[in-house]
Structure 1
């Protein structure tokens, strides 16, 4: 099939390194591995920094112009229309202003992945944006959900003709990732995250407080990342001088090598969507300690490859981390299980199988709706 691939949140080919951009690229690669021709939709970034009517109207005008241009080119034969529309990561700050209308206009399946509904935003200043998202959810033939939290939010839209299908977070590597090799000395902790305001900064500050609770344990922490909040984050760790190594930004191969050279991956993950970095760490043979927050649990096997503390319970997080610091045999067993889990269960090949099954369901649902509409007109 020819698939139009739309990413409202961020431009598909802007070179960004965020997790959602990487997942978008992985989805395209997985679809292409199935033999589909994937064409990223060429439109400006659809992320809304504020809820103003002016900002939304500007995006809507741009989307309408592109929609009419595309429809005209398909109708006059100057361009080949898509056989299916696939939208990745639409929510109230980045609603899909193209897919539902285009899919309806040319009668093709409409599929989403990582779409989400924010019920609490349906009655505040974001209500118009949430209404747009909900109309799109109601127009789809299939929703792929990455996490249990997303599934719960999408359940009101499950019915005949709209399917929900799990697509667990997955990770792709150009070659087999390096594997952890145990060394003597103090256990080496590592974390990787950008240093920006909001949830990332909150997780860094939580990690600093957690480590302060286990000063008497033997450990050393490496931090990979940088950003505009680095100064404040460094200050939070200032009382641990001599135990923190600031590695800055690293390319992916260097980061994977650093992961393999450490013993434990620690990242609170406060309100993380899911976090591909957890999969990368496990792929190199590292167990994980994190909060059971957001979609983190979708990236690990709790109790087998990771220890998850209740969200916000820093004492429980510190206790879990201390347990693994003091038990090298358990760290090793969990690390081996972690690598096996990611390299067998969370691969692009496994994701492609789920995508293939989902697209078949979507096409079937669209055909059913088409037949129902035809019967309705005939009667």
Structure 2
């Protein structure tokens, strides 16, 4: 099947690494692994940090101009996809291009990772909210990336069009890095945190983590932090230098090797959609201590592959971590279950199967709607 693809939140070749960019690339890779021909129809980025009618109207005008450019190119070259797929749509990153091209060429239209925040229906983001809703109404199939988004999406997306497409990863590098039998965990546990060092939610996660570890200062542990960014100096100042190692940003192979050398991933996950690093760590055989945020409980099984605490609750996070620090064998139990969980649910192959089901649903629903319109 020929699939036209766009990512209004962040293009696949954006220079700044993120879980969002990685997930977009994984979606394309998974589809191609099934023999689909995926073409990036546009690199247009609709996302804006600030919202207003004026800003969003200008983005819309530019997006529609881009849609016209793509349509003209398709008509000149004779290219016609079988489906249009948009990755990650919400009020800050509406999709005008997908609906415009789907209407013009009578294509099934599918969205992966849609979210909806009704409180944005008024205020600075009202224009973007309405535009995202319009795309959701036009879509023939919509997939949330976690169950927490379903209720808000169900208010605008028909049940037959709506599903959850759990996130996935290429687990192979992380499985391979930990293929050899890991030494049993022993005090002091080797803890690991992975995250970009930028202002906002990431900085807040580091602050919560530092506060939780401070409550455990009389318990032996060592923390390795992987990540970089404009807030690095501020992040480094939060942690005791004699118990913390900073490695900066690492490429995938080096990151996989570090997971395999540690006992436990610890991350508060403030406002995280799901946290790709939580999948990576589990694939490498690490249990997870994290915040119970949005899609985190969809990928970390509380009490089985990790221990989850209320988002931002320093005391609860420290208590969960303290349980494992006091019983190192629990780290081994969580890690073994985590690796098995990834193999069963979150591999690239499992993601490809879920994506294939989504596009088949979009095709069926589009055909049904078209038949109804002509009846």
Settle same-fold status: TM greater than 0.5.
yes
SS at match of 2:301: coil
The answer for the alignment partner of 2:365 in structure 1 is: 365
CA deviation after TM superposition for structure 1 residue 307, in Å: 0.2
The answer for the alignment partner of 1:167 in structure 2 is: 165
1:191 equivalenced with 2:190 (yes/no): no
Partners of 2:185 and 2:332 within 8 A in 1: no
Partners of 2:136 and 2:157 within 8 A in 1: no
Change (3 A) 1:183 1:308: closer
1:4 equivalenced with 2:28 (yes/no): no
Partners of 1:169 and 1:298 within 8 A in 2: no
Once the two structures are superposed, residues 191-217 of structure 1 have per-residue CA deviations (whole angstroms, 9 ceiling, x without a partner) of 000100000000000001000101111
1:374 equivalenced with 2:366 (yes/no): no
Partners of 1:270 and 1:294 within 8 A in 2: no
Partners of 1:276 and 1:299 within 8 A in 2: no
Separation in 2 of the partners of 1:371 and 1:178? Answer: 52
Separation in 2 of the partners of 1:194 and 1:102? Answer: 35
Q: Which moved more, 1:44-53 or 1:114-123?
A: 44-53
> What is the CA RMSD across the aligned residues, in angstroms?
1.6
Aligned runs of 1:145-184 on 2, under 5 Å?
A: 145-159=144-158, 162-175=160-173, 176-179=175-178, 180-182=182-184, 184=186
Pick one of 229, 236, 239 that aligns with 2:238.
236
CA deviation after TM superposition for structure 1 residue 15, in Å: 4.3
Separation in 2 of the partners of 1:43 and 1:345? Answer: 31
CA deviation after TM superposition for structure 1 residue 72, in Å: 3.2
Partners of 2:89 and 2:115 within 8 A in 1: yes
Change (3 A) 1:107 1:61: same
Separation in 2 of the partners of 1:177 and 1:19? Answer: 21
The answer for the alignment partner of 1:130 in structure 2 is: 129
Once the two structures are superposed, residues 267-302 of structure 1 have per-residue CA deviations (whole angstroms, 9 ceiling, x without a partner) of 000110101100111111111001101221122111
The answer for the alignment partner of 2:206 in structure 1 is: 204
CA deviation after TM superposition for structure 1 residue 116, in Å: 1.1
Partners of 1:12 and 1:25 within 8 A in 2: yes
The answer for the alignment partner of 1:286 in structure 2 is: 286
Separation in 1 of the partners of 2:77 and 2:248? Answer: 49
CA deviation after TM superposition for structure 1 residue 351, in Å: 1.1
Change (3 A) 1:57 1:194: same
CA deviation after TM superposition for structure 1 residue 70, in Å: 2.7
Once the two structures are superposed, residues 307-341 of structure 1 have per-residue CA deviations (whole angstroms, 9 ceiling, x without a partner) of 00122221111111000011122211111010111
The answer for the alignment partner of 1:260 in structure 2 is: 260
Q: Size of the alignment, in residue pairs?
A: 371
Separation in 2 of the partners of 1:184 and 1:128? Answer: 54
Separation in 2 of the partners of 1:144 and 1:106? Answer: 22
Partners of 1:26 and 1:171 within 8 A in 2: yes
Partners of 1:203 and 1:270 within 8 A in 2: yes
CA deviation after TM superposition for structure 1 residue 16, in Å: 3.5
Partners of 1:168 and 1:298 within 8 A in 2: yes
Aligned runs of 1:1-379 on 2, under 5 Å?
A: 1-75=1-75, 77-159=76-158, 162-175=160-173, 176-179=175-178, 180-182=182-184, 184-237=186-239, 240-375=240-375
Separation in 2 of the partners of 1:233 and 1:74? Answer: 48
CA deviation after TM superposition for structure 1 residue 79, in Å: 3.0
Partners of 2:52 and 2:127 within 8 A in 1: no
Partners of 1:177 and 1:283 within 8 A in 2: no
Gaps of at least 5 residues in structure 1 are: none
Change (3 A) 1:181 1:169: farther
Q: Which moved more, 1:274-283 or 1:47-56?
A: 47-56
CA deviation after TM superposition for structure 1 residue 52, in Å: 3.2
CA deviation after TM superposition for structure 1 residue 94, in Å: 0.8
Partners of 1:266 and 1:288 within 8 A in 2: yes
Runs of 4+ in structure 1 deviating by more than 3 angstroms, as ranges, are: 72-75, 173-177
SS at match of 1:177: helix
CA deviation after TM superposition for structure 1 residue 12, in Å: 1.5
CA deviation after TM superposition for structure 1 residue 159, in Å: 2.4
